Structure 1
Amino acid sequence: MELRLLVTFEKVATVLSFTRAAAELAYAQSSVTAQIRSLEASLGTELFDRLGSRIRLTEAGERLLPYARQIIALADEARTAVAEAEEPAGTVTVGTMESLTSYRLPALLELFHHRYPKVRLALRPTLGDETRQALRRGTYDIGFLMEAESEHEGLESEVLTEEPLVLVAAPTHPLVGRDGLTTAELAAGQLVGPEPGCAYRDLFEAELRTAAGPDERPVFLEFGTIEATKSGVAAGLGVALLPRVTVARELAGGTLAELAWRPSFTLFTQLAWRRGKRLPAHVRLFVEQSRRLVREQSGQPAA
């Protein structure tokens, strides 16, 4: 079995799309199809079921996938072992989330674009559990997490910084300037937030439920992005709990106001990768630069 065929198979098996795999591998779709057929012919079995415009792994494909990933990882390690002194090169597939991509990572992306042009960063927007699962499967090399826990089964993780949260409202909101604001009052009021699955949204909702009582469920006006959430809050649609880094500009400019309330939980921005995985040089470089830049942004010395 040729390594390039296994690389193509692993990519198709991960994204379950010949078209998307071709785009990510920079191949023509016909080349991807031909390589999969060649691998199937060499193994004497079909690896994918073709279901109209969709595909799925056959039982044989499911059995091959973990071996393909092991072979690819070993090949990467071999290349790293003999080429560590060369200019960093390779792809880093990164699971991340909007609050980090938009507000923590621009400096990191700019650094790699200009200083390490041979390192390609492939960002995958996913939330906590989906990111962790992708890291365990080997679909992602690195994942950014913003969670209360810092230990994750099957993963190595490193806390980069504590991520302060702030409750914000429009400057004209009646709760602005109020002292002694209670969680029960918030639970009974108008709430705005990102979609469920976001760690701080879920923890905030759990805290509100505890204060509201077992028969009450806080109602959120849900927006798909942080920018949309901020716009809804600024328009007077309710209050929202968001990472301070995402609203620093609006608080400084007076378009949003901070309320006198603090959550009982603390979140940490973290880097994670699969436990036991030897990170290639270009992935280690990404970890080192992420650590340095995020900690600099937070006013902490790099470890």
Structure 2
Amino acid sequence: MELRLLVTFEKVATVLSFTRAAAELGYAQSSVTGQIRALESSLGTELFDRLGSRIRLTEAGERLLPYARRMIELAQEARAAVADTGEPAGALTVGTMESLTSYRLPPLLELFHHRYPKVRVALRTTAGDTTREALRQGTYDLGFLMEEETAHPGLESEVLAVEPLALVAPPGHRLAGRDRVAAADLVREPLLATEPGCAYRDLFERELAAVAPVEFMEFGTIEAIKRAVAAGLGIALLPEVTAAAELADGSLTRLAWRPPFTLRTQLAWRAGRRLPAHARLFAEQARRLVAEETGGRASAA
């Protein structure tokens, strides 16, 4: 089996589209189709079921996929070992989320930009479910998660820090002076949040829905949520790190509601995969920088 055919097969199997695979690989679609047919011919079996405009893996294709990924990874490792100049190099696709991209990762990205310029880091901002699936499929090399659970099927993960949450409101809010705020106090308030799929939004909604049905005004970014809260449109639960500046300057105030759940920022990768050297370096530096910023807060409170 030629490696280039396995690379094409893995890409088609990941995106389940000949057209999209061709675009991502820089081939004509006819070339992708021809390579898949050549691989099927050499194996003596069909790897994809063609269902009109859609395709899916056959049982044989499902069995081949993990072997193809392992062979591709080994080839990449061999290439890196032979070409090793002592300077980390390679492409790295990392799944993350807005709260980490904007508020935790800039020092890490700056470090790699200046110290390891041959490591090409591409960030993909996606919800936790999407990040986990992309890691399992091999689309992402590493992924940052902010979840309550730490066990993820098909993945290995490491807790980097417990992520404190803050329930924020505009200054002078009617609940701001209370020593304790209960969920029953919150269900009558206008609630602002990101879209469903965000772990802390979903957990917050679950807690309030146990008291009474609630609805959220949804925003696309955390910055938009903070501005809306400051303007008096409602209250919002956010990772503390994203609202630290506004809480410090008084443009937002923190309400005395303690979440009955714990979120943990985690770094994850596909189970059984041996990460290449530049990915291991990225993980090491992420671990170090988050520990320095959070004071090593890597266990539940």
Do these two structures clear the TM 0.5 threshold for a shared fold by scoring above it? yes
Paired residue for 2:226?
Answer: 230
Go from structure 1 to structure 2 and tell me whether the alpha carbon gap of 1:183 and 1:291 turns closer, same or farther (over 3 Å shift): same
Change over 3 Å in CA distance of 1:84–1:233 after alignment to 2: same
Give the 3-state SS of the residue equivalent to 1:150 in structure 2. Answer: coil
Query: Match of 1:217, as an amino acid?
Result: P
- Measured in 2, the distance between the counterparts of 1:177 and 1:224 equals 30
Aligned partners of 1:145 and 1:272 also within 8 Å: yes
In 2 relative to 1, CA 290–46 (structure 1 residues): closer, same or farther, beyond 3 Å?
same
Match of 2:189, SS state, is: coil
Equivalence for 2:73: 73
Residues 1:241 and 2:269 aligned together: no
Out of 242-251 and 131-140, give the one that drifted further. Answer: 131-140
Aligned to 1:250: 246
For the 8 Å contact 1:77–1:278, the answer to whether it is kept is: no
Seen in structure 2, the aligned counterparts of structure 1 residues 233 and 53 have a Cα distance that, compared at 3 Å, is farther
Give the aligned partner of residue 288 of structure 1. 284
Match of 1:127 in 2: 127
Q: Secondary structure at the match of 2:269?
A: strand
Partner residue of 1:183?
183
Query: Are the structure 2 counterparts of residues 159 and 166 from structure 1 closer, same or farther at C-alpha, using a change threshold of 3 Å?
Result: same
Deviation at 1:251, TM superposition (A): 2.1
* Pair 1:262 & 2:258 matched: yes
280-289 or 31-40, larger mean C-alpha shift: 31-40
Quote the offset at 1:165 in angstroms: 0.5
CA offsets per residue over residues 162-202 of structure 1, 9 Å max, x none? 21100001224322223322221112322111122211112
Is 1:107 matched with 2:95? no
Is there any run of 5+ residues in structure 1 with no aligned partner, and where? none
My pick for the range that moved more, 112-121 or 140-149, is 112-121
- Does the CA-based 8 Å contact 1:88-1:282 persist in structure 2? yes
The residue correspondences of 1:1-303 to structure 2 (distance < 5 A) are 1-18=1-18, 20-22=20-22, 24-25=24-25, 32=32, 35-36=35-36, 38-40=38-40, 42-43=42-43, 47-48=47-48, 55-58=55-58, 60-82=60-82, 86-210=86-210, 212=211, 216-300=212-296
- Alpha carbons of 1:143 and 1:219: their partners in 2 closer, same or farther (altered >3 Å)? same
- Give SS of 1:117's match: coil
Given the two structures, how large is their TM-score scaled by the length of structure 2? 0.85
Tell me: CA distance 1:117–1:186, structure 2 relative to 1, closer, same or farther (3 Å): same
What are the superposed Cα offsets for residues 219-269 of structure 1, whole Å, 9 maximum, x if unpaired? 211223222222322232211100011112222333322112221222111
Contact between 1:84 and 1:281, CA under 8 Å: does it hold in 2?
A: no
RMSD over aligned Cα, in angstroms?
A: 2.8
Q: How many residues align?
A: 298
Letter paired with 1:176: A
Give the deviation of 1:104 after TM superposition: 1.2
Deviation at 1:286, TM superposition (A): 0.9
Normalised TM-score (structure 1): 0.84
Gap change, CA 1:301 and 1:219, over 3 Å in 2: closer
Q: Would you say the 8 A contact 2:168–2:237 is kept in 1? A: yes
**Alignment partner of 1:270: what SS?**
strand
Cα 1:54/1:155, change in 2 over 3 Å? closer
Task: Report percent identity of matched pairs.
Answer: 74
Distance (Å, rounded) in 2 between the aligned partners of 1:209 and 1:156: 32
Q: Is the 8 A contact 2:161 2:297 kept in 1?
A: no
SS in 2 for 1:145: strand
Measured in 1, the distance between the counterparts of 2:57 and 2:10 equals: 11
Q: Which amino acid aligns with 1:223?
A: F
**Cα drift, residue 22 of structure 1:** 4.7
* Cα pair 2:98 2:222 within 8 Å, conserved: yes
